[in-house]
Amino acid sequence: MIGIPFHPAPWSIVDNRIVDGAGKVVSAAGVNVCGYANLPTTKSQATTRAKKVAALGIRVLRAHHMDGPLLDNPQSHGERFQWWLDALKKQGIPVIIEFASSRFEKAQVVAGDSAEWFSYVRQVCSLDLSNVVAACPVNEFPSPTMAYLEMEAWIRKCGYKGLIFGSNAIVQGGEMGDFANGHFYCGLEGQKDDEFFEIEYKDQPWNHPKPQPLPVVATEIGHFWPASTRYQSEWQIVESLLKVKAQVIIMFAYVDNMDEWTSAKKPIDKDSFHNDPDRMETLARLVHRMANVSYLPRTFTPGFKASKVDGGKWKIGTVTAVGVK
């Protein structure tokens, strides 16, 4: 995308700011790609997908939940993941990862009792991670300081040279690492899988990020479908992060299924951007805002509601269109 600067690896911290491999201060929008959706079947397919990401203005990508495929088949899936890392590197798009996520007992890992985690870190670090600019030991776990430091030391011993951070430490607490990281959502508190809150982010002040002593990176933001307030909420999250000088803001999720790399039509779901104009508009605004490039927002009013249930929530069911204020 013309006018949107790239921020190639490696990243480092200079004067309490994240700078890229060219010595430029990082300010980038990103998206999450989850699990098997990070695994192209050919090098050519990896290149095509990386170019698609670049064309959207995305300048950093989080390869999320990779422990599943890399534990299932380390050799084959490791090779395919390497194609993805290499293709993104050629486009100038660096990657953020975690070393434990969906396939580990996290409490056991941070207690230092998971031989599998130590082995897995060594396995992942045997790949060429020169395009991985940042990694966390465990996704979404408030690690005690000593456990974090021990995990960080092991990651370094295995050869990883990028930034290391404490996942979601702004929200959950725990060790920050090289930068302050957070996951910021709206309407998630305590609902069942088929229920959601019809609420805006501005009305949930306990979730709003506070100024931090370190650079700020948000590796997840979102308000899930089918709330009609989603578009306003996701942009309000962006604005709240810009107030605390966030250098990287990554939306959840762009691709979480393999078929989303194609143009196939499928229904909108709570996680995906696919076929969702609200989310793609938020991404477009975010890309331009992070790059300080002028952009005139469009207006969308295709919000959704379902049947109302107790506690100010709504239940997914027969969905009808409503206007967005």
Q: Kindly tell me the sign of the dihedral angle through the C-alpha atoms of 81, 167, 134, 4.
A: positive
What range does the domain containing 290 cover?
12-321
Helix, strand, coil content of the chain in percent (nearest 5): 35, 25, 40
| Cis peptide leading into residue 226 (ω within 30°) | yes
User: Is 5 a domain residue?
Assistant: no
Q: What is the pLDDT of residues 88-99, one digit of tens each?
A: 999 999 999 999
Provide the pLDDT confidence category of residue 317 given band limits of 50, 70 and 90.
low
Contact 81, 66 (CB under 8 A): yes
Q: What are phi and psi of 186, to 5 degrees?
A: -130, 140
pLDDT of residue 165: 98
- Mean pLDDT to the nearest integer, 158-165: 98
Average pLDDT value over all residues in the chain: 89
Q: Kindly tell me the sign of the dihedral angle through the C-alpha atoms of 50, 52, 54, 60.
A: negative
User: Is 171 a domain residue?
Assistant: yes
Q: What is the pLDDT of residues 175-198, one digit of tens each?
A: 999 999 999 999 876 667 777 888
Is the model more confident about 314 or about 150? Answer: 150
Least Cα distance to 130 among 304, 278, 8 occurs for: 8
User: Residue 264 above 60 pLDDT?
Assistant: yes
Query: What CATH number is attached to the domain comprising 21?
Result: 3.20.20.80
pLDDT of residue 66: 97
User: Distance between CA 239 and CA 96 in Å, rounded?
Assistant: 22
pLDDT of residue 265: 64
Provide the pLDDT confidence category of residue 299 given band limits of 50, 70 and 90.
low
User: Distance between CA 155 and CA 33 in Å, rounded?
Assistant: 23
CB atoms within 10 A of CB 134: 26
User: Is 217 a domain residue?
Assistant: yes
Residue 62: strand pairing partners: 32, 96
**pTM, rounded to two decimals:** 0.93
- Mean pLDDT to the nearest integer, 167-180: 96
User: Is 200 a domain residue?
Assistant: yes
User: Residue 263 above 70 pLDDT?
Assistant: no
- Mean pLDDT to the nearest integer, 44-70: 96
Provide the pLDDT confidence category of residue 224 given band limits of 50, 70 and 90.
confident
User: Is 91 a domain residue?
Assistant: yes
Provide the pLDDT confidence category of residue 323 given band limits of 50, 70 and 90.
very low
- Mean pLDDT to the nearest integer, 249-262: 84
Tokens encoding 47: 């290149």
Q: What is the pLDDT of residues 266-288, one digit of tens each?
A: 777 777 777 777 888 899 999 99
Q: Give the distance from CA 43 to its chain's centroid.
A: 24
Residue with tokens 């239940």: 315
Provide the pLDDT confidence category of residue 313 given band limits of 50, 70 and 90.
confident
| Residues ≥6 apart with Cβ < 8 Å to 11 | 18, 19, 20, 21, 26, 94, 133, 134, 162, 163
- What total of structural domains would you count in the chain? 1
- Mean pLDDT to the nearest integer, 190-211: 85
Provide the pLDDT confidence category of residue 298 given band limits of 50, 70 and 90.
confident
Q: Of all helices (H) and strands (E), which one includes residue 195?
A: strand 195-197
User: Is 2 a domain residue?
Assistant: no
User: Is 4 a domain residue?
Assistant: no
* % of residues, the chain, pLDDT over 90: 70
User: Residue 319 above 50 pLDDT?
Assistant: no
User: Is 94 a domain residue?
Assistant: yes
